[in-house]
Amino acid sequence: MLNGFRHALRLVLLLVFWASGITTGHAQASASPATKASSGEFPTAPVTLDGRTLFEVRGTSSNPAAERAVAISDRIADLAGNSGIDLADLVVVPGQLGLEIRAKDNLLMVLVPADAALEGVRPDVLAESHRQRIEQAITLYRNDREPGNLLRDLAASAVATAILVALLLLNRFLLRKAQAVLGDRVQTQIAAMPQGTLQFIQGKQLQDALSATVRGLHRLILVVLLYLWLEFVLGQFPWTGWIGDGLLTFVTDPLLRIGTSIVDYLPSLLFLIVLVLITRYGLRLIKLYFAALERGQAALHNFDSAWSLPTYKLIRTLIIGIALVMAYPYLPGSGSEALRGISVFAGLLLSLGASAAVGNVIAGYFNIFGRVFRVGDVIKVGEVTGAVTQIRLLTTRVRTIKNEEVTIPNSMIVSSHLVNYSALAQTQGLILHTEVGIGYEVPWRQVHALLEEAARRTPDISREPAPFILQRVLGDFAVVYQLNVYTSTALGMAGTYTLLHQNILDVFNEHGVQIMTPAYESDPQDLKIVPPNKWYDAPAKPPSDQGPLPS
């Protein structure tokens, strides 16, 4: 068991000091030879028996090192398994290509001059060294498979298993004992602590943390015991001895590879960190500048302040895209086929699923930079009429006169007919118009005057330019007059229309002029007007400042 404890200590040291390069030698982890580069430029491969490396051989273009090593290892294994061949017959003899290591008629390997040149020794010295190693390995191979030794190893494994079971039971008993102590003494101590002590950490949480610590220690002991048992038992038998010798390396090799990869990746990681910092703070500075443009604290020639935020988003996307292109070669696994496949798959999903979104984004920039409308403008898109409350790259939000918020995709705005009532309202005025049908017996000059009077009584109607009237249709029974008035704002159009229609009705009623009905057939006996004394019949109430009504 001392050997097992020694390996356990080595595991701890490797986990602590692997980044500093403090490692110990370890045995080969596999019986199959793996080709590796020697100290020079010639590839070599190990010759093994029972997982133990005897020596290494080099290869040629026609006989690679790995294939040559496997062939020599197979011949040595066949010789070791043939007890009828005495090791005294294992000799080095000259051959046609070089020195041969033979056992009677069995050729194990041919040592060529290039092998000796690679090692830097004479061929005869190297051949004798290889022969001795083969002899020692075969002796150990046969000795390990003696029936008496196998029985002894089996008994040792049984004893180790019994000890393992006893230690596992003891470990389980200690776990339960520790949990009982936590349940009694620790709980008592927690209850005795001042109330303010556990203000941020509850007593139950503290007890659970201690219990988790005990369980973690129990599992760690369990893993160590199983490792020591596996290393000892596997090392007793010749068929699994190489696994026991290399058991520690199964854990340490991945850790060492991970550590080496991290150390090798540090320069690339530093580059990515610097790139991220430059990109992040560069975008912050650009955002501050465009925020100043939006607030009017800075100015650019022919640059609308409403373009500030969309322009910043466009520049931000461009900068992030350039940064990603620069960072890609420095990402872990950037050249691997897996990452390339993921990139192609992500690009396919983006092209299939984001086509509508990309179209809306392009339409959003078209609306913003084309000055089609701004926030606060009253527009009409399809059947929707209302004031613009928000403009985004994908959608535009409009609030209708019913206080309904309608979200319209930007691509729909670009592809459909749009009316902007506010674009020219402040500079040239927005024209509101309404129509009335008046009989032919009423002079058109009187109708013009009445309509102009109704316009003058309506608030929010501009005096300049003055209202104007168009006689649009000379119908079968009536003349259709169109009143056109100017207003400086598109907001409240519905209310302005309502007041204008009310004033038209009042003015025409005051002067006894009948507005024709749509289903006119003949002149009625009484005029279809409302006399002033009936304007406020119940339940209508006159305004408090209204004077006496005309009769």
pLDDT digits 0-9 by tens, 152-165:
878 888 888 899 89
Q: Which of 484, 471, 499, 509 is nearest to 434 (CA)?
A: 484
Residue 237: C-alpha distances to residues 66, 156, 440 (Å)? 27, 11, 124
- Residue 479: beta bridge partners? 438, 474
Residues 6+ apart with CB under 8 A from 437: 475, 478, 479, 480, 481, 515, 516, 518
Residue 195 lies in a domain: yes
- 394 and 437 both lie in a single domain: no
Residue 291 lies in a domain: yes
Q: Which SS3 state, helix, strand or coil, does residue 129 take?
A: helix
Q: Which SS3 state, helix, strand or coil, does residue 387 take?
A: strand
Percent of the chain predicted with pLDDT > 70 = 78
- State pLDDT tens for residues 303-359: 777 777 778 888 888 999 899 889 888 887 776 777 677 777 777 766 665 666 666
- Residue 535: beta bridge partners? none
Judged against a pLDDT cut of 60, whether residue 119 lies above it is answered with yes
- 482 and 529 both lie in a single domain: yes
- Residue 56: beta bridge partners? 46
User: How far is it, in rounded angstroms, from Cα 66 to Cα 443?
Assistant: 116
Looking at residue 367, its pLDDT comes to 66
* Domain of residue 514, CATH code: 3.30.70.100
Looking at residue 152, its pLDDT comes to 83
User: How far is it, in rounded angstroms, from Cα 378 to Cα 490?
Assistant: 6
- State pLDDT tens for residues 421-474: 888 887 888 999 999 998 888 889 999 999 999 999 998 888 888 999 999 989
Looking at residue 139, its pLDDT comes to 85
- 477 and 409 both lie in a single domain: no
Residue 492 lies in a domain: yes
Looking at residue 103, its pLDDT comes to 86
Looking at residue 124, its pLDDT comes to 85
Q: Which of 116, 147, 129 is nearest to 55 (CA)?
A: 129
Count of domains observed in the chain: 5
Residue 314 lies in a domain: yes
Neighbouring CB atoms inside 10 A of 416's CB total 10
Best-predicted range by mean pLDDT (15-19, 115-119, 333-337): 115-119
Average pLDDT of the chain to the nearest whole number? 78
Q: Predicted confidence band at 19 (pLDDT cuts at 50, 70, 90)?
A: very low
Average pLDDT over residues 84-95: 84
Domain that holds residue 80: 36-144
- 526 and 455 both lie in a single domain: yes
Looking at residue 242, its pLDDT comes to 66
Q: Which residue has the tokens 């207003």?
A: 487
Judged against a pLDDT cut of 90, whether residue 502 lies above it is answered with yes
Neighbouring CB atoms inside 10 A of 87's CB total 15
Looking at residue 85, its pLDDT comes to 82
- 434 and 409 both lie in a single domain: no
DSSP 473-499: EE-SS-EEEEEEEEES--TTHHHHHHH
User: How far is it, in rounded angstroms, from Cα 310 to Cα 290?
Assistant: 10
User: How far is it, in rounded angstroms, from Cα 516 to Cα 467?
Assistant: 23
* 8 Å CB contact between 179 and 211: yes
Which comes out higher in pLDDT, residue 298 or 189?
298
Residues 6+ apart with CB under 8 A from 439: 477, 478, 479, 514, 516
Q: Which of 422, 420, 360 is nearest to 396 (CA)?
A: 360
User: How far is it, in rounded angstroms, from Cα 283 to Cα 292?
Assistant: 14
Which comes out higher in pLDDT, residue 534 or 54?
54
- 236 and 152 both lie in a single domain: yes
Q: What is the dihedral of CA 56, 57, 61, 67, to 10 degrees?
A: -80
Q: In terms of pTM, does the model score above 0.95?
A: no
Which comes out higher in pLDDT, residue 240 or 94?
94
Q: Structure tokens of 521? A: 């057939």
Q: Predicted confidence band at 114 (pLDDT cuts at 50, 70, 90)?
A: confident
Average pLDDT over residues 123-128: 86
User: How far is it, in rounded angstroms, from Cα 432 to Cα 407?
Assistant: 27
Inter-helix orientation angle 247-295/2-17, to 10°: 20
Which comes out higher in pLDDT, residue 407 or 242?
407
Looking at residue 219, its pLDDT comes to 87
Phi, psi of 303 (to 5 degrees): -115, 120
Q: Where are the alpha helices (DSSP H) in 145-185?
A: 147-181
- 415 and 452 both lie in a single domain: no
Q: Predicted confidence band at 366 (pLDDT cuts at 50, 70, 90)?
A: low
Judged against a pLDDT cut of 50, whether residue 223 lies above it is answered with yes
Strands 479-487 and 43-49: unpaired
Order across the sheet with 90-94: list the strands.
90-94, 99-103, 106-111
Residue 473 lies in a domain: yes
Residue 466 lies in a domain: yes
Neighbouring CB atoms inside 10 A of 321's CB total 10
Q: Structure tokens of 140? A: 């150990």
User: How far is it, in rounded angstroms, from Cα 53 to Cα 33?
Assistant: 9
Looking at residue 424, its pLDDT comes to 84
Residue 239 DSSP label = T
Residue 542 lies in a domain: no
- 238 and 154 both lie in a single domain: yes
For residue 421, count CB atoms less than 10 angstroms from its CB and return exposed for 0-12, middle for 13-18, buried for 19 or more. buried
Q: Residues 506, 402, 541, CA angle at the centre, nearest 5°?
A: 35
Looking at residue 500, its pLDDT comes to 94
Average pLDDT over residues 201-230: 78
User: How far is it, in rounded angstroms, from Cα 327 to Cα 273?
Assistant: 10
- 337 and 241 both lie in a single domain: no
* Domain of residue 382, CATH code: 2.30.30.60
- 81 and 120 both lie in a single domain: yes
Residue 434 lies in a domain: yes
Report the sign of the C-alpha dihedral through residues 170, 171, 172, 174, in that order: positive
Percent of the chain predicted with pLDDT > 90 = 13
Best-predicted range by mean pLDDT (122-136, 248-262, 304-318): 122-136
- 117 and 152 both lie in a single domain: no
Judged against a pLDDT cut of 80, whether residue 541 lies above it is answered with no
Q: Structure tokens of 310? A: 């969309």
- 395 and 489 both lie in a single domain: no
User: How far is it, in rounded angstroms, from Cα 238 to Cα 117?
Assistant: 34
Neighbouring CB atoms inside 10 A of 311's CB total 20
Judged against a pLDDT cut of 70, whether residue 175 lies above it is answered with yes
Strands 43-49 and 106-111: unpaired
Lowest mean pLDDT among 16-25, 336-345, 403-412, 497-506: 16-25
Order across the sheet with 43-49: list the strands.
36-37, 43-49, 52-58
User: How far is it, in rounded angstroms, from Cα 150 to Cα 4?
Assistant: 20
